[in-house]
Amino acid sequence: MARPDISDSPDDWWRSAVIYQIYPRSFADADGDGVGDLAGITSRLEALADLGVDAIWVSPFYRSPQKDAGYDVADFCDVDPVFGTLDDADALIARTHELGMRIVVDIVPNHSSDQHAWFQAALAAPPHSAARARYIFRDGRGDSGELPPNTWQSVFGGPAWTRVIEADGTPGQWYLHLFDSTQPDLDWTQEQVREDFDAILRFWLDRGVDGFRVDVAHGLVKEEGLPDYTDEQLIAASIGDTTAPSPHFGQEGVHEIWRRWRAVLERYGADRILVAEAWVEPLTRMALWARRDEMHQAFNFGYLMTPWDSGALRAVIDASLDAFSRVGAPSTWVLSNHDVVRHATRLGLADVPPLGHGVGRDTPGLPETEHGVRRGRAATLLMLGLPGGAYLYQGEELGLPEALDIPAQARQDPAWFRTGGERYGRDGCRVPIPWEAQAPGFGFSPTGASWLPQPDAWGRFARDAQRGVPGSTLEMYRSALALRADLALGTGDFAWVDAPPGVIAFDNGATRIVTNMTGEPVTLQDPLLAGEVLLASTPLEGSFEPDSTVWIRRA
Ligand code: GLC
């Protein structure tokens, strides 16, 4: 019997797609101001077609004061001048399609920027007015309202409420912001907010985008009455990583919004997709975001957070395949994005800091670069051997590690400021990527300018230093994506293969994927490895080295 989650319909492209995340500030800068832009992306798209990805996902490029690198949107239907114009967006969409790829854009519905016209109108309007109803304004506690309305903490540190000064100059109501104080939360119980977002979806669908990555898709709906939530550790330690619904994350009411959005998309055709950024656990709960009438996919953060441990990986792969298949969705796989420590560094850390805290030069137990990159490559080949959809983050195909030496005065992440430097935040994974080893700014920008400093040693990771070089990380990714397509690994049948402790082995159709996590070499005569070697993350010379993955055409 045909598997229900496999089909030949082009509408189902996303079920097995490899989608590449572009972080526009740091991908390619055409105008030389040191911040990447849309024209820069368009000019470099051929490199992604050459890499072999099916689609790109572009992080926010909308009008924004850039207090949270564009996740603070002041106009959802316009391009920020730092990134270009709407014409540049049209050109990017057209060129992506011309090259045979799809394009997914980011949408940020949980909050807007405090500079959005809606919020400015709310500030100018009196308490309890219709303009304020779009956001979550409340009177404070205490004799004169001097205390926040409840105990919630911002994901970026500090209280989740800020008090406003009313038109008459007196301290007044408080507004909720789960993130920075410049990112007020919208009130999704308001029909007006829902209608506005329907229109924003249509605006971009009309321009030809193939889908949306939905920011904070577990937020939006807050528990009625906004009850105190004292489990500060959970909220403060992470981007909303909670195992049970909290009053601000994972509320049942969010699902009805995704059903409504799905219906908006379906009118444009069954090939337009929604992917959820929903930091909820366990995976069976996360899979609820990918039900047939809701979103198509959800980022598999359970997989991303799994340490380099064969037992833990086996367990999370089983849990992922099981949880997503129960809702008829393919699992996704992801190792890096713009919020987490790059996996070429993270997987080698003795202790991974909590989500969003980042690492710096003085973090204990940092891996030595070579070792980190080697483990990162092994992890990538393991991931790309799994059936389902995979997400890549710009620069991982170059083997980039986390940037560790960003001086305090250059840092930009609000998490750094809101915690007085206690958390490094996410700047280390957002440094502009290297294109050309010998060019100023490694080819990121024609002037050599870069909004975050690039490490001097990054020339060796530059794309032009790796393209065509056998064994380079870039060539490993190119081969893996080509083989993944040829061997139909994205839609293959998965089966575990018995392996000694510390070794992970599975078959995907006729291909065997084996990862050596034992810390010791494994002999190549092992029957587990019988067959033709298709690809290896570390050259196989007599033995199968630790921290390596190999793809084998089974004998
Ligand atoms: C998401 C984004 C992150 C952003 C936050 C607030 O978690 O991925 O970068 O800071 O939402 O919008």
Among 176, 202, 225, the domain boundary falls at 176
Whether 109 contacts 186, CB under 8 Å: yes
Contact 239 CB / ligand 1 (< 6 Å): yes
If one residue of 23, 67, 71 were mutated to test the ligand 1 pocket, choosing by the most ligand atoms within 8 A of its CB, it would be 71
Query: Domain for residue 479, yes or no?
Result: no
Query: Is-catalytic flag, 195?
Result: no
Token pair recorded at residue 90: 């049209």
Same domain flag for 94 and 134: no
Residue 432 DSSP code: P
Atom of ligand 1 lying closest to residue 180 CA: 6
Cα 145 to Cα 200: distance, rounded to the nearest angstrom: 36
Cα 503 to Cα 497: distance, rounded to the nearest angstrom: 10
> What does the pLDDT read at residue 237?
38
Quote the pTM value. Answer: 0.96
From start to end of 453-536, where are the E strands? Answer: 494-496, 503-508, 511-516, 522-523, 531-536
In CATH, what number is assigned to the domain containing residue 24?
3.20.20.80
> What does the pLDDT read at residue 234?
53
**Which residues, 6+ apart, have CB-to-CB distance to 270 below 8 Å?**
9, 11
Same domain flag for 56 and 149: no
Same domain flag for 338 and 367: yes
Give the burial class of 147: count Cβ atoms within 10 A of its Cβ; 0-12 exposed, 13-18 middle, 19 or more buried.
middle
The domain of 159 spans 117-176
- Point out which residues pair with 332 in neighbouring strands: 389
Contact 71 CB / ligand 1 (< 6 Å): yes
Count of domains for the chain? 3
From start to end of 166-283, where are the E strands? Answer: 171-176, 211-214, 273-276
Same domain flag for 138 and 233: no
Strands 137-138, 161-165: pairing kind: unpaired
In CATH, what number is assigned to the domain containing residue 160?
3.90.400.10
Same domain flag for 524 and 541: yes
Regions of the chain where pLDDT drops below 50: 1-4, 233, 235-240
> What does the pLDDT read at residue 235?
46
Whether 513 contacts 547, CB under 8 Å: no
Cα 548 to Cα 521: distance, rounded to the nearest angstrom: 9
Token pair recorded at residue 411: 């840092």
Query: Domain for residue 181, yes or no?
Result: no
Query: Domain for residue 543, yes or no?
Result: yes
Query: Domain for residue 8, yes or no?
Result: no
> What does the pLDDT read at residue 3?
47
Query: Domain for residue 482, yes or no?
Result: no
Atom of ligand 1 lying closest to residue 156 CA: 10
Q: How far is the CA of 321 from the centre of ligand 1 (A)?
A: 26
Catalytic residue, chosen from 277, 402, 427, 545, is: 277
Q: How far is the CA of 359 from the centre of ligand 1 (A)?
A: 18
Give the burial class of 224: count Cβ atoms within 10 A of its Cβ; 0-12 exposed, 13-18 middle, 19 or more buried.
exposed
Contact 108 CB / ligand 1 (< 6 Å): yes
The residue to which tokens 């405090």 are assigned: 114
Same domain flag for 160 and 268: no
Other Cβ atoms less than 10 A from the Cβ of 397: the count is 28
Cα 529 to Cα 417: distance, rounded to the nearest angstrom: 50
Q: How far is the CA of 284 from the centre of ligand 1 (A)?
A: 23
Per-residue H/E/C for 50-116: HHCCCEEEECCCEECCCCCCCCCCCEEEEECCCCCCHHHHHHHHHHHHHCCCEEEEEECCCECCCCC
Same domain flag for 259 and 221: yes
Query: Domain for residue 487, yes or no?
Result: no
Q: How far is the CA of 70 from the centre of ligand 1 (A)?
A: 9
Same domain flag for 310 and 418: yes
Contact 180 CB / ligand 1 (< 6 Å): no
Query: Domain for residue 20, yes or no?
Result: yes
Same domain flag for 200 and 168: no
Catalytic residue, chosen from 37, 185, 215, 397, is: 215
Query: Domain for residue 276, yes or no?
Result: yes
Same domain flag for 214 and 345: yes
In CATH, what number is assigned to the domain containing residue 511?
2.60.40.1180
Same domain flag for 376 and 512: no
The residue to which tokens 């949408």 are assigned: 107
Element spanning 47, H or E: helix 38-51
Whether 297 contacts 389, CB under 8 Å: yes
Query: Is-catalytic flag, 215?
Result: yes
Among 149, 176, 203, the domain boundary falls at 176
> What does the pLDDT read at residue 119?
98
Contact 107 CB / ligand 1 (< 6 Å): no
**pLDDT, tens digit, for every residue of 411-449?**
999 999 999 999 999 999 999 999 999 999 999 999 999
Strands 137-138, 55-58: pairing kind: unpaired
Q: How far is the CA of 27 from the centre of ligand 1 (A)?
A: 18
Whether 462 contacts 362, CB under 8 Å: no
Q: How far is the CA of 550 from the centre of ligand 1 (A)?
A: 35
If one residue of 235, 338, 339, 393 were mutated to test the ligand 1 pocket, choosing by the most ligand atoms within 8 A of its CB, it would be 339
If one residue of 58, 110, 176, 239 were mutated to test the ligand 1 pocket, choosing by the most ligand atoms within 8 A of its CB, it would be 239
Same domain flag for 53 and 131: no
The torsion angles phi and psi of 528, rounded to 5 degrees, stand at: -55, -30
